[in-house]
């Protein structure tokens, strides 16, 4: 397996590992009416730090085991395709938010903090789509 394919797998796994529990926790806080800035900020910074550390560690490990080759035309084509997929997922997610946010949800207060978490979710979905597209493309050959 190429270094770039391994990198895509690592990024995909780490993003799922960090952000699935993260959003589960944020959703629980929202449902309990306890979604406050200090709590979310601490959790968010912790998630970012954990993601950064795991990503660095993961890439150090795969660098030791596989030489990093220069990206050739197929690598660039796969990257371009994955970015296109990511763009479309992000666009759909954002337009879903733009359409749904003005609707009133009884019993819940849609605060700017909650909106920021929804925007973060849209971005994470875009990143997941990018990594999945890369992994699938490498597995299929292109």
Partner 1 sequence: MAGTAPVAGEISNQIRRLRFDAGEMTQQQLADRAGVTRQTIIAVEAAKYSPSLELAFRIAQVFRKPLEEVFQYQPKA
Q: Which residues bind partner 1 (CB under 8 A)?
A: 2, 69, 72-75, 77, 138, 140-142
Q: What is the DSSP string of 42-74?
A: HHHHHHHHHHHHHHHHHHHHHHHHS--PPP-HH
Q: Is residue 142 within 8 Å of residue 5, measured between CB atoms?
A: no
Q: Give me the residue label for tokens 């903090």.
A: 113
Task: Please say which residue, 85 or 122, places its beta carbon nearer to partner 1.
Answer: 85
Task: Please say which residue, 131 or 138, places its beta carbon nearer to partner 1.
Answer: 138
Task: Please say which residue, 4 or 130, places its beta carbon nearer to partner 1.
Answer: 4
Task: Please say which residue, 20 or 77, places its beta carbon nearer to partner 1.
Answer: 77
- Give the nearest distance from C-beta 80 to partner 1 in angstroms: 13
Q: Is residue 21 within 8 Å of residue 51, measured between CB atoms?
A: no
- Give the nearest distance from C-beta 128 to partner 1 in angstroms: 24
- Give the nearest distance from C-beta 138 to partner 1 in angstroms: 8
Instruction: Work out the number of other CB atoms within 10 angstroms of the CB of residue 11.
Output: 21
- Give the nearest distance from C-beta 133 to partner 1 in angstroms: 15
**Interatomic CA distance for residues 87 and 17, integer angstroms:** 22
């Amino acid at each position: 397996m190429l270094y770039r394919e391994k990198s895509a797998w690592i990024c995909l796994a780490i993003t799922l590992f960090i952000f699935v529990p993260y959003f589960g926790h944020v959703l629980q806080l929202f449902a309990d009416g306890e979604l406050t800035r200090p709590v979310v900020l601490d959790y968010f910074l912790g998630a970012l730090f954990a993601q950064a550390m795991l990503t660095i560690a993961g890439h150090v490990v795969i660098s030791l085991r596989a030489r990093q080759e220069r990206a050739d035309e197929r690598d660039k084509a796969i990257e371009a395709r994955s970015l296109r997929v990511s763009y479309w997922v992000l666009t759909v997610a954002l337009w879903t938010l733009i359409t749904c946010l003005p609707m009133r949800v009884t019993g819940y207060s849609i605060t700017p903090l909650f909106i920021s978490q929804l925007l973060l979710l849209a971005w994470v979905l875009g990143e997941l789509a990018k990594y999945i597209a890369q992994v699938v493309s490498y597995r299929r050959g292109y």
